[in-house]
C-alpha cells in the first residue's frame, strides 16, 4: 500500500466559484471546469496561501488517502467523499490524526454522547498543520499567572506566527510536540492545549495567540512549554476541535464551568464578546474553581471584567479558616439562576478542566434540573444534540 498522505480538497457544496484561490495559488495547483474548483494533489505543496483568501471556508478540507483523488474525480463531485477507512497502513500522518482524535474523543466523553458544534458557530479550520508540516511559532511573551506560594505554576504563553496562517476559533486547541524522544527512543506524541485568546489574536489583528499552561511535575510537554524563553521557536500542529466552539449568535447565553487551565477557552469566549458584542443580549455566567485566589489563573484581569458582561462565581477550596467550596457547591447555591438558564433554549453549557470535576458538576445539574421537574439526562441529551452542551476535560 502507498504511504498515506493528506490531500487538500475543496468542498463543492460550499464553494461559491469566485476562483480567488486559483488566482492566489503560486503553483497553479488549483483549477476549475464548469462544475467544480479542484486541487491537483501532484502540484499542491501545502503552502496554505489559498486558505486565508477563501471567503467561504470551503477550501479547508483534507482527506487522508493512499491514492489521491484525480482532477477528473473531483470535477464530478457534488459533495465531498467521506474519509475512507485506510485500515492498518501505519502512516505517520494517519497515526497523528488518530492520536489527536483519541485525545479529543476522550476529552469530550463527559458530554454523554457525540458532541456537536453550536448552530451559529463559525466553521472551524482543522488539521492545517501536521507533524510532517508543522507551523513554526515564536514565543512573544511568557509570564507566570499564579503566585510562587500557591505551589501551582500556570503560565500565560503568547505565540507569534509571523506570516503563517493559523486561523483558530474560540474553543479550539493546538498541538505541541515536545522535542526529543521518549524512554523507548520514539519521538514524543503531541499534546493539546486550548487557545486562550480570541480569533483575531491575543492582540487584535496581530497574528498571535495565547495558551494557558500548567507545569505538571515530571510532565514532558508542560515543562518544555513553561521553560520556553522569549524568541524561542515552537512547532505547532492543528488547529484541532470542531465542536467545543462559541456560538456567534450574540443572543446565545453562555454558562461556563471550569477549574484551573479549563478557564483557557472561556478567556477566549469572554474576550470575543468584549471585542465584538459587548452589548450582547445573551448573558455569560462563569463558575470557576481553584484552591486559592493566587492559584486561579487570570484572577486580577477576570475581576476587572464588568459583571454585566460576565457574572463571575470564583470558588475556593483551600482558604484557611473558610469551609471548602467547589464549583458544584456554588452551583447548588445559585440553583435558581441555573434552573432558569436550563429552561431557556438560548442557553449553552460549557464544562472544561480536570476530569475529576465532571461527576460533581453533573450531579449538581441533575439535582437542579430534577428539582424543577426536568429529567436531567433527557434535557442534557437534547442540549447536546442541539450543540448546546459541551464538555472538554483532561
Ligand atoms: C482538548 C485538550 C485541551 C487541553 N488544554 C490544556 C490547557 O489549556 N492547558 C494545559 O495546561 N493543559 C491542557 N491539556 C492537557 C495537556 O494536553 C497535557 O496533557 C498536559 O500539559 C500534561 O502533559 P505533559 O507532557 O506535561 O505530561 P506527560 O509527560 O504526558 O505526563 C502526564 C502526567 O504524568 C505525570 N508524570 C509524567 N512523568 C512523570 C514522572 N517521571 N514522575 C512523576 N509523574 C510523572 C505528569 O505529572 C503528568 O501529570 C489539554 C488536553 C486536552 C485533551
More confident residue, 371 or 48: 371
Active-site residue, from 263, 295, 352, 389: 352
255 pLDDT exceeds 90?
Answer: yes
**What confidence score (pLDDT) does residue 336 get?**
98
- What is the DSSP code (8-state) at residue 13? T
Q: Which atom of ligand 1 is nearest to the CA of 196?
A: 8
Band (pLDDT 50/70/90 cuts) for residue 6 is confident
- Model confidence pLDDT, tens digit, residues 45-103: 888 888 877 766 778 888 988 899 999 999 999 889 988 876 654 566 666 677 787 88
Distance 222 CA to ligand 1 centre (A): 6
The residue contributing the CA closest to ligand 1 atom 28 is 219
Does residue 352 have an active-site annotation? yes
The CA distance from 107 to 139, in Å, is 27
Q: Which residue has the cell 463531485?
A: 77
**What confidence score (pLDDT) does residue 91 get?**
62
**What confidence score (pLDDT) does residue 158 get?**
93
**What confidence score (pLDDT) does residue 85 get?**
74
Instruction: Find the range with the poorest average confidence among 78-87, 199-208, 231-240, 319-328.
Output: 78-87
CATH number at residue 74: 3.30.70.20
In a domain, 116, yes or no: no
Is 383 in the same domain as 279? yes
Last residue of a domain, one of 89, 119, 153: 89
Is 219 in the same domain as 318? no
Is 293 in the same domain as 187? no
* CA 62, chain centre distance (Å): 18
Band (pLDDT 50/70/90 cuts) for residue 271 is very high
The CA distance from 141 to 145, in Å, is 12
Residue 191 in contact with ligand 1 by CB distance below 6 A: yes
Is 234 in the same domain as 296? no
Distance 247 CA to ligand 1 centre (A): 28
Distance 217 CA to ligand 1 centre (A): 9
More confident residue, 232 or 46: 232
**What confidence score (pLDDT) does residue 53 get?**
73
**What confidence score (pLDDT) does residue 273 get?**
95
Residue 277 in contact with ligand 1 by CB distance below 6 A: no
In a domain, 340, yes or no: yes
E strand or H helix at 278 = none
Is 386 in the same domain as 257? yes
**What confidence score (pLDDT) does residue 13 get?**
80
Is 351 in the same domain as 313? yes
Q: Which atom of ligand 1 is nearest to the CA of 107?
A: 53
Distance 44 CA to ligand 1 centre (A): 35
Identify whether the C-beta of residue 214 lies closer than 8 Å to the C-beta of residue 193: no
CATH number at residue 379: 3.40.50.80
Is 46 in the same domain as 79? yes
**What confidence score (pLDDT) does residue 1 get?**
54
**What confidence score (pLDDT) does residue 324 get?**
96
Distance 325 CA to ligand 1 centre (A): 25
Is 236 in the same domain as 259? no
Distance 240 CA to ligand 1 centre (A): 17
**CB crowding 100-118: b at 16 or more within 10 Å, else e:** beebbeebbebbeeebbbb
Does residue 150 have an active-site annotation? no
In a domain, 216, yes or no: yes
Grid cell for residue 153: 505554576
The CA distance from 300 to 302, in Å, is 5
Q: What range defines the domain where residue 154 resides?
A: 135-240
**What confidence score (pLDDT) does residue 96 get?**
65
Is 264 in the same domain as 378? yes
The residue contributing the CA closest to ligand 1 atom 21 is 222
In a domain, 346, yes or no: yes
CA 92 vs CA 102, 187, 302: distances in Å: 15, 11, 41
248 pLDDT exceeds 80?
Answer: yes
Q: What pTM did the predictor assign?
A: 0.80
**What confidence score (pLDDT) does residue 59 get?**
87
In a domain, 211, yes or no: yes
**What confidence score (pLDDT) does residue 283 get?**
96
Residue 192 in contact with ligand 1 by CB distance below 6 A: yes
Is 172 in the same domain as 273? no
In a domain, 119, yes or no: no
**What confidence score (pLDDT) does residue 88 get?**
55
Structural domain count, the chain: 3
Active-site residue, from 129, 193, 298, 350: 193
**What confidence score (pLDDT) does residue 66 get?**
87
Instruction: Find the range with the poorest average confidence among 7-11, 98-102, 233-237, 326-330.
Output: 98-102
Q: Mean pLDDT, to the nearest integer, of 140-158?
A: 93
Average per-residue pLDDT for the chain: 91
280 pLDDT exceeds 90?
Answer: no
**What confidence score (pLDDT) does residue 56 get?**
66
Residue 103 in contact with ligand 1 by CB distance below 6 A: yes
Band (pLDDT 50/70/90 cuts) for residue 115 is confident
CATH number at residue 175: 2.40.30.10
Band (pLDDT 50/70/90 cuts) for residue 131 is confident
In a domain, 114, yes or no: no
Distance 63 CA to ligand 1 centre (A): 29
Write down the number of H helices and E strands in the chain. Answer: 10, 15
Is 259 in the same domain as 385? yes
Residue 174 in contact with ligand 1 by CB distance below 6 A: no
Does residue 115 have an active-site annotation? no
Is 147 in the same domain as 66? no
Q: Mean pLDDT, to the nearest integer, of 114-136?
A: 89
Does residue 194 have an active-site annotation? yes
Residue 193 in contact with ligand 1 by CB distance below 6 A: yes
In a domain, 95, yes or no: no
The residue contributing the CA closest to ligand 1 atom 7 is 193
**What confidence score (pLDDT) does residue 263 get?**
97
Amino acid at each position: 500500500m502507498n504511504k498515506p498522505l493528506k490531500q487538500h480538497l475543496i468542498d463543492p457544496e460550499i464553494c461559491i466559484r469566485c476562483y480567488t484561490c486559483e488566482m492566489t495559488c503560486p503553483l497553479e495547483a488549483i483549477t476549475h471546469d464548469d462544475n467544480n474548483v479542484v486541487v491537483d494533489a501532484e502540484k499542491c505543496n501545502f503552502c496554505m496561501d489559498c486558505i486565508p483568501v477563501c471567503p467561504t471556508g470551503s477550501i479547508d478540507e483534507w482527506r487522508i488517502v493512499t491514492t489521491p483523488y484525480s482532477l477528473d474525480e473531483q470535477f464530478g463531485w457534488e459533495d465531498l467523499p467521506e474519509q475512507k477507512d485506510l485500515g492498518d497502513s501505519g502512516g505517520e500522518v494517519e497515526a497523528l490524526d488518530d492520536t489527536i482524535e483519541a485525545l479529543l474523543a476522550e476529552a469530550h466523553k463527559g458530554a454523554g454522547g457525540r458532541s456537536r458544534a453550536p448552530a451559529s458557530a463559525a466553521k472551524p479550520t482543522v488539521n492545517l498543520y501536521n507533524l510532517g508540516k508543522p507551523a513554526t511559532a515564536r514565543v512573544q511573551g511568557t509570564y507566570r499567572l499564579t503566585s510562587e506560594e500557591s505551589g501551582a505554576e500556570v503560565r500565560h504563553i503568547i505565540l507569534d506566527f509571523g506570516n503563517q496562517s493559523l486561523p483558530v476559533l474560540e474553543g479550539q486547541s493546538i498541538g505541541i510536540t515536545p522535542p526529543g524522544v521518549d524512554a523507548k527512543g520514539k519521538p514524543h506524541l503531541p499534546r493539546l492545549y486550548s487557545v486562550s485568546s480570541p480569533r483575531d489574536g491575543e492582540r487584535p489583528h496581530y497574528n498571535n495567540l495565547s495558551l494557558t499552561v500548567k507545569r505538571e511535575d515530571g510532565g514532558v510537554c508542560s515543562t518544555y512549554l513553561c521553560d520556553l524563553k522569549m524568541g524561542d521557536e515552537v512547532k505547532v500542529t492543528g488547529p484541532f476541535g470542531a465542536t467545543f466552539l462559541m456560538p456567534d449568535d450574540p443572543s446565545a447565553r453562555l454558562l461556563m464551568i471550569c477549574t484551573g487551565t479549563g478557564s483557557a477557552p472561556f478567556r477566549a469566549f469572554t474576550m470575543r464578546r468584549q471585542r465584538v458584542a459587548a452589548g450582547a443580549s445573551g448573558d455569560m455566567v462563569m463558575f470557576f474553581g481553584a484552591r486559592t485566589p493566587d492559584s486561579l489563573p487570570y484572577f486580577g484581569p477576570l475581576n476587572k471584567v464588568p459583571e454585566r458582561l460576565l457574572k463571575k462565581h470564583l470558588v475556593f477550596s483551600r482558604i484557611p479558616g473558610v469551609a471548602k467550596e467547589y464549583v458544584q457547591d456554588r452551583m447548588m447555591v445559585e440553583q435558581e439562576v441555573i434552573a432558569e438558564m436550563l429552561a431557556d433554549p438560548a442557553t449553552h453549557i460549557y464544562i472544561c478542566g480536570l476530569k475529576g470535576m465532571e461527576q460533581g458538576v453533573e450531579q449538581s445539574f441533575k439535582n437542579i434540573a430534577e428539582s424543577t421537574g426536568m429529567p436531567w439526562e433527557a434535557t442534557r441529551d437534547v442540549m447536546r444534540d442541539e450543540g448546546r452542551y459541551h464538555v472538554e476535560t483532561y
